[in-house]
Amino acid sequence: MLDIKDFAFFEKQNSFDFKAFLIKTGSYWRWFVLGLAISLFVAYQVNIRKQKIYSLETTLAVKEQENPLFTNNTSLIFNWGGTSDQVQTIATTLKSRSHNELVIDKLSFYVDYLKEEKYFTEDVYGYTPFLVHLDKTKDQMLGNPMNIRFVSPNEYELTTHFSSNSVPLINYSTNVKSTQSVVSGDYKKRFKVGQKVNLPFLSWTLDIKDLPGNYVGQKYIVKLNNFDDVVTQYRNVKVSIDEKAGSIIKLSLQGTNKARIVDYLNETVRMLMKKQLESKNLFAENTIKYIDTTLTLMEQNLKEANNDLKDFSKGRNVLEIEKRGETYQLQIQELDLARDAVTRKINYYNALNSYLKNSKDYSKLPAPSVAGIEEPNIINNVAQLIALSVRRSEMAYSVKSELMFNNIDNEIAAVKRVLLENVAAAKVAIETESNQINRKIQQSEGKIEKLPEESQDYLRITRKFNLSNSVIDAYLQKRNEAQIVKAANLSDVQFIDPAKDIGGGLIGPRTGVNYVIALFVGLLIPLLIVFLIFFINNAIQNAEDISSLTNIPLIGVIGIKHTSSNLAVFEKPKSALSESFRALRSSLQFLYKKQNKEGSKTLMLTSTVSGEGKTFCSINIATVFAISEKKTVIVGLDLRKPKIFDDFNLKNKIGIVNYLIGENSLDEIVQKTKIPYLDVITSGPIPPNPSELIMGETMREFIEELKLRYDYIILDTPPVGLVTDAIELAPFADVTLYIMRQNFTKKEMVSLINNRVQRDELSNVSIVLNGFENKAKYGTGYGYGYGYGYGYGNYSNGYHEEDAPITFWDKIRDFIKKSLQKK
């Protein structure tokens, strides 16, 4: 029946041995060095193979600029929208396709200037000694690299390769693509610098820059790209609105060529300023066009009135005639001017009403003030309608969302409805005023009819002339005002900080960061591997593992043998390994003394499974006893798997099995060895019933007879974890050594010996750790007290022979030697 004490060993198994983990980690220092070397090498390769990435930015301000030349009489209103509206419009415009098409076309960014470097092809825009000027009306080869090599200061060689019998072409003026038949293979031809190149697939002129430096022999690559693809690429420019200052916009762009970034950022802002100013001047231009059309008609009327006046003046006393109607002339002239002003307003309202109902593009509306209209609601709504119309036309190239179009269309419709209502209300008021003026004119004309006919004709002619002349003067004044406004207009977009290459802007590859990451990865990966090994490897590693799993004392730590046979103590008596066995002998003698054991002493060696070194330990413990001139015998009691005889070059024809079954006597089965005072009793032939033989009374007689002859009896038994033979032999042993092997014996196997001891199936048990390698790999040296020098490091120099490791050739030589001996 199980006792609760049987499970006491589990109490210590759940704690993490941090010290052991650190020691184990340090033992794999070569892995860390290798990991660091590999990761740093990879980081170095990444740093030298990847192009440098730069990020530059420009800052601009959006502020509505008021015209300083405006006066109280200058009633033309020009507005591109409020500031907040402008910022959003500008942000959209900067990323729009139409805007970037203008910028890319202006800069010819569809032309790539490249140079082959060791690990990559570098963009050398701005740093080449030459520029190519394309004939945009001609078809150009698309996407095929063209190699340029300067053979002299005035001559270059053009080389390209045609992989098929046709090449794609593009016409940059129409953006139309086509193909051209060519001869597949390499094409090579020389041209003069500045010479017009006219080929079926290429039309350009290559010119040298000022101060180009030494460029003879240099090689470059020119590549012509798809215009739409380049535009799409630059539409990814980052546009951000300052959260604290809503009128500040920052543009940033990343790339491998700082000169290209600088040129793009500055040109896109200049293009924006130009377009914005053009849009801002649109109101004035529409007004000037309207005035010019009206002036053409009025000048014709003035010319006709002037001719009529000349014809009337012939043969008449004009001064006398003018004097008669002078009183009426001034009065009727004022009324004519008032009626003309009213008529112009009515005509503008009628034209505006018709335009709003029949047109969809409202960007060409003239200023209401050109007709003398000063109604604020009408002026502001016309300006807003123009701004919304311009904004919608720009969105057509950059916005794909139907919802956004619907929103702005709704805004336009709302403004249009309000404007139509304003016009209708204004027309009612102006028509009332027109009726009043017409009545006054009729009264004045009734008085004029009382004058002589000659005076009436003169007044009619002068009325027409003066009216045309006054109207022309008024329109000319409005035209001058519009021209002044246009000339004095400033762009609402202003540079705060233009893009400039001042030596910074590098964002990648960050070589320092890459090396830091490499250091981290180079240490982390080996650490994780060690951590994994630490938890996966469940074998006994050091004395601390044993002490944490069992209360059974550890009395010896045996190192690794470096000899071909198991006779390590006999072959190298001065080695550290031999001293560890001598230390174990001293510990055993202390145990025997503690038991008050006199006379012959027995020692049983067992383990959990095969391969833990029972036979090796049995032979060498027996050897140290024999060297001290104690009569010692090793009894091979592993009847199922006998092997102790090989190391002594003995035969296993007869052994203890023969004695137990009564075939041979003790003297017949004892075999002498080359080691003085040491005898060996082999197991003999493998019996069908090993356990029954050991349990018999003959076994007790056998041990008693050995005690009469020997000082020490070493029992080499089978593994207790596999068979019960060792349990049956335990009563014959004064001390039992339980062999565990470093990095072989599993920790869970310790529970077996714990259970055996708890049940008193084994008594006087001590543990020996075999195959211990002290290289800080499995823990600190536990040789203190167990083997002089084993664990004392360099302090053992001069006291022990150095154990040279067995090489591969040594193993082959020993194998051949043993094979020959068997023959």
Asked if 93 and 39 sit in the same domain, the reply is: no
Residue 17 lies in a domain: no
Q: Is the model's pLDDT at 50 over the cut of 90? A: no
For 351-357, what is the mean pLDDT? 82
Asked if 612 and 570 sit in the same domain, the reply is: yes
pLDDT level of residue 408 (50, 70, 90 thresholds): confident
Highest mean pLDDT among 191-200, 341-350, 439-448, 545-554: 191-200
528 phi/psi in degrees, rounded to 5: -65, -40
For 190-212, what is the mean pLDDT? 94
Q: Is the model's pLDDT at 808 over the cut of 60? A: no
| Residue corresponding to tokens 């003309």 | 340
Q: Is the model's pLDDT at 37 over the cut of 70? A: yes
**Cβ distance 726 to 739 under 8 Å?**
no
Asked if 641 and 702 sit in the same domain, the reply is: yes
Instruction: Identify the pLDDT of residue 803.
Output: 52
For 720-744, what is the mean pLDDT? 86
Asked if 232 and 293 sit in the same domain, the reply is: no
Instruction: Identify the pLDDT of residue 153.
Output: 93
pLDDT level of residue 489 (50, 70, 90 thresholds): confident
**How far from 768 is each of 570, 573, 761, CA to CA, in Å?**
20, 20, 19
**Cβ distance 329 to 458 under 8 Å?**
no
Instruction: Identify the pLDDT of residue 787.
Output: 36
Q: Is the model's pLDDT at 256 over the cut of 60? A: yes
Average of per-residue pLDDT values in the chain: 81
Residue 261 lies in a domain: yes
Asked if 475 and 526 sit in the same domain, the reply is: no
Residue 522 lies in a domain: yes
Residue 459 lies in a domain: yes
Highest mean pLDDT among 165-174, 442-451, 724-733: 165-174
Q: Is the model's pLDDT at 564 over the cut of 80? A: no
Q: Which of 254, 274, 294 is the last residue of a domain?
A: 274
How many domains are there within the chain?
A: 4
pTM of the model: 0.58
Q: 2-11, 122-131, 658-667: lowest mean pLDDT where?
A: 2-11
Instruction: Identify the pLDDT of residue 298.
Output: 73
More confident residue, 301 or 73: 301
More confident residue, 310 or 707: 707
For 38-62, what is the mean pLDDT? 90
pLDDT tens sequence across 61-88: 887 655 443 333 444 444 444 445 678 8
Instruction: Identify the pLDDT of residue 73.
Output: 40
- Side chain identity at residue 181, one-letter code: S
pLDDT level of residue 809 (50, 70, 90 thresholds): low
**Cβ distance 20 to 780 under 8 Å?**
no
Specify the DSSP class assigned to residue 370: G
Instruction: Identify the pLDDT of residue 493.
Output: 85
Residue 10 lies in a domain: no
CA distance 180 to 162: 11
For 286-307, what is the mean pLDDT? 76
Instruction: Identify the pLDDT of residue 789.
Output: 34
CA distance 695 to 693: 5
CB atoms within 10 A of CB 423: 23
Asked if 410 and 517 sit in the same domain, the reply is: no
Return the H-helix or E-strand segment holding 56: strand 53-62
pLDDT level of residue 91 (50, 70, 90 thresholds): confident
pLDDT level of residue 186 (50, 70, 90 thresholds): very high
748 phi/psi in degrees, rounded to 5: -70, -15
Instruction: Identify the pLDDT of residue 87.
Output: 83
pLDDT level of residue 296 (50, 70, 90 thresholds): confident
Asked if 531 and 549 sit in the same domain, the reply is: no
Q: Is the model's pLDDT at 783 over the cut of 50? A: no
CA 821 to chain centroid, in Å, comes to 68
More confident residue, 599 or 562: 599
Asked if 520 and 548 sit in the same domain, the reply is: no
Q: Which of 274, 305, 331 is the last residue of a domain?
A: 274
Q: Which two tokens stand for residue 457?
A: 């004709």
423 phi/psi in degrees, rounded to 5: -65, -45
Q: 16-30, 588-602, 643-657: lowest mean pLDDT where?
A: 16-30
- For residue 145, whether the previous peptide bond is cis, meaning omega lies within 30 degrees of 0, is no
Instruction: Identify the pLDDT of residue 451.
Output: 67
Q: Is the model's pLDDT at 197 over the cut of 70? A: yes
pLDDT level of residue 397 (50, 70, 90 thresholds): low
Residue 454 lies in a domain: yes
Asked if 550 and 429 sit in the same domain, the reply is: no
Asked if 559 and 652 sit in the same domain, the reply is: yes
Highest mean pLDDT among 177-191, 451-465, 576-590, 603-617: 177-191
- Side chain identity at residue 594, one-letter code: K
Residue 225 lies in a domain: yes
Q: Is the model's pLDDT at 366 over the cut of 80? A: no
**How far from 280 is each of 66, 69, 493, CA to CA, in Å?**
11, 16, 11
Asked if 161 and 231 sit in the same domain, the reply is: yes
Highest mean pLDDT among 99-113, 582-596, 786-800: 99-113
Instruction: Identify the pLDDT of residue 51.
Output: 87
Residue 141's domain spans which residues?
60-274
| Residue corresponding to tokens 């550890």 | 554
For 530-548, what is the mean pLDDT? 80
Q: Which of 274, 295, 329 is the last residue of a domain?
A: 274
Asked if 266 and 414 sit in the same domain, the reply is: no
Residue 392: CA count within 13 A, CB half-sphere: 22
More confident residue, 241 or 340: 241
CA distance 802 to 409: 96
What whole-number percentage of the chain has pLDDT above 70?
82
Q: Is the model's pLDDT at 656 over the cut of 80? A: yes
CA distance 614 to 718: 8
Residue 750 lies in a domain: yes
| Residue corresponding to tokens 């990343």 | 254
